[in-house]
Amino acid sequence: MNAQVPTSKPVPARGSSPAFFSVWDIHAYYGESYIVQGVSFDIREGEIIALLGRNGAGKTSTLRALARMSNPELKHGEIWLDHQPLHEMKSWQAARLGLQLVPEDRSIIPGLTVEQNLELAQIAPPHGWSIERIYELFPRLGERRLQEAITLSGGEQQMLAIGRALARDIKILLLDEPYEGLAPVIVQEIEKTLQNVKELGITTIIVEQNAIAALKLADRAIIMDAGQVVFDGTSQEVLDDPELRDQYLAI
C-alpha cells in the first residue's frame, strides 16, 4: 500500500515528553510499501506492554522502527526514551542509550559458547548485568556456559537472547515473538523468566501471537491493525472483551 507521509505537526521541544518512552506519529516504509501508519503511544517506566494484532498488522515493523533498524525506514515521527530523541539516532546509538531488541530469530552467534555470546555483548560500554547475575536469573545458562550456543534448545536460546540484552545497560526491552516455536512446557519457563524481568521493573514491549499469555503478563495492551493503533488500554479490558479479541486477534 502506497501513501504520502502526512504534513508534520509542530515538533515539541527536545526531551519535552513526560513519558519514560514516547512514540509520536511514526510512519515507516519498506521501500514503497507503507507499513507503520501514524503509530503513537506512551509507556511509563517499568510498565509491560503487549503489542498485539493479526499477522501483517505491523507489530514487528513497529518494533524494528523503534529500535532504529534500517528496515523499515522511519520517514516521519518521533521516538523519545528518557528524554532522548531516538528518532535522530542509528540503531547502535539507540542500543547504547539502553534500548535492546530481542528479535524473533534470537540472533545467536554461531561458533561461540553461551558465555562468549554474553561476553561479546559486554565488549563495549555501557555494561549492564554481570554474567554471574545473568546465570542467577537463568541457571540453565550457567550449567551450559561452555556449550556452543546454537546447540541449545529453543527455550534456552531465548533465555540467552534475553540474557544478552540484560548484559547491556538496559532501559527498555523489546521482545519479538518470545514464545515462537516453543513447546508448551518451555513457554511456561519463558513466562516465568519474563515475570522475573517484570518484577525487576524493566520496561518491556512484547510482540506475541500467543495473545492470552502476553496479556496475562502485561499491564497494558496496544492492538494494531493495518499499520495503525486501534486499541490502547489495560490488558484486563482485552481479556474481558471477546468481541474485541475476535475482531482484531482471532482468539
Question: Cell digits for 87?
Answer: 528518532
Topology (CATH level 3) of domain 21-248: Rossmann fold (3.40.50)
Cβ neighbour number for residue 53 with a 10 Å cutoff: 25
pLDDT tens by residue, the chain, 251 residues: 444 444 333 334 444 456 899 999 999 999 999 999 999 999 999 999 999 999 999 999 999 999 999 999 999 999 999 999 999 999 999 999 999 999 999 999 999 999 999 999 999 888 899 999 999 989 999 999 999 999 999 989 999 999 999 999 999 999 999 998 888 888 888 888 888 888 888 999 999 999 999 999 999 999 999 999 999 999 999 999 999 999 999 75
CA distance 224 to 158: 25
Q: Calculate the alpha carbon distances from 61 to 2, 66, 179, 242 in Å.
A: 16, 9, 18, 26
Full-model pTM: 0.89
Residue ranges of domains in the chain: 21-248
CA distance 146 to 161: 16
Phi, psi of 17 (to 5 degrees): -65, 130
Strands (E), 111-248: 172-176, 203-207, 220-225, 228-234
